[in-house]
Amino acid sequence: MNYKHTYFLLLHLLFLTLSGANRSFGQIRNEWKGVELSEDDDFFNFRGEGTDRGYTSGFTINIYYRKNNKPVFPTNLLMKISEKADNLYGYSLSQSLWTPNNITNKEIQYNDYPYAAVVLLSNFLISADPEKKQKLSTRLSLGAIGKFAFGKEVQTWFHRMIRYQEPNGWDNQVKTDILLDYSIEFEKLVFNPCPNLEITGSAAGNFGTFINSADIGIQIRAGLLDNYFNNSFFDKTKKLKGNKRNSHFYVYAKINGCGIMDNAALEGGFFTHNKSPYVIPKDNINRAILRYEYGFVFTHKRIGFSMCEKANTPEFQGSFAPQTGNVTLWFGL
């Protein structure tokens, strides 16, 4: 079975999951609200200084829905900020790739990023309280790291399509392992001196076999702002829920301090890290890093587009500061 057939099966599994979520208790059905497509790539760069190293690419598709029945396992593990909150659920399928600096070299490149690929299927909930100006996001993810995430096949296919150098070191990738993670993020408005400027604080944690970490951060938004603390973008009646205009445009910047205990993309999987050809030694991991992000967002009615650039301080000793661009498109159904 080749990777194209496998990805078809993964998409089919996502479809079956969504179909199951849309079945009713009685005659009540969930309401599909929107789709979001997001692409990370270290070749996207506002300054035109793209690379092909470290966290090199990632693709995500999110499908949003309103839940009209009582959540059952595992969706009932996701947390609401309150029973009266504006709750938007979703499913996500993502793939992320990491490579060393020289992808033409077939040999292990010590003191550089190991080859690693991750694929995740997630169920998430964004629970917002417009009155208290706060938001709680929780996510449960199941997936794999290693050859069954098909990083080699996807990157090779894409590089051939754009006639770029082929990656030759994927035989040295992190060994296959299972990933099961739970993440939580709380955000709250801390300063809003005028309608065109706001500052939001956040705290987050991730727990599982992929990443164990804790974050604290701050975000600044300026421009023609939407209401950040409701989930009305995908609703046809969103103007009745606090948004006074059809179009929004703003710039933003955020910074997060992150403490990291484990990262399977660098250190190998929870069960198989000792079997990987090469991983970063645990004593070389930088357990405290800073993450930066800045960009812009434009929305018109139920269509949105954003572009941003993300960077962080080195993740391990002797490494570089990786920089990645992102393009995201979302629209209501």
pLDDT the model gives residue 42: 83
pLDDT, position 235: 76
At residue 1, the pLDDT reads 42
- 271 contacts 178 by C-beta, under 8 angstroms: yes
| 126-140 residues labelled b (16+ CB within 10 A) or e (exposed) | bbbbbeebbbbbbbb
Is 0.85 surpassed by the pTM of this model? yes
Tell me what pLDDT residue 301 has: 87
Mean pLDDT per block of 10 residues along the chain (333 residues) reads 47 51 53 94 73 86 91 93 91 96 92 96 96 96 96 90 87 96 98 96 98 98 93 67 76 98 96 94 96 96 94 94 93 90
pLDDT of residue 26: 42
| pLDDT the model gives residue 45 | 73
pLDDT given for residue 14 in this prediction: 53
State the architecture of 3-332 in CATH terms.
Beta Barrel (2.40)
Q: Distance between CA 132 and CA 189 in Å, rounded?
A: 8
**Any idea what the Cα angle at residue 247 is, between residues 244 and 248, rounded to 5°?**
90
Question: What is the 8-class DSSP label of residue 7?
Answer: H
Contact indicator for 279, 264 with CB cutoff of 8 Å: no
Q: How far apart are CA 153 and CA 269, in angstroms?
A: 20
- pLDDT recorded at residue 265: 97
Find how far residue 150's CA is from the centre of its chain.
18
Residue 40's pLDDT is what? Answer: 94
Domain ranges of the chain: 3-332
- Looking only at Cα atoms, what is the longest distance across the chain? 59
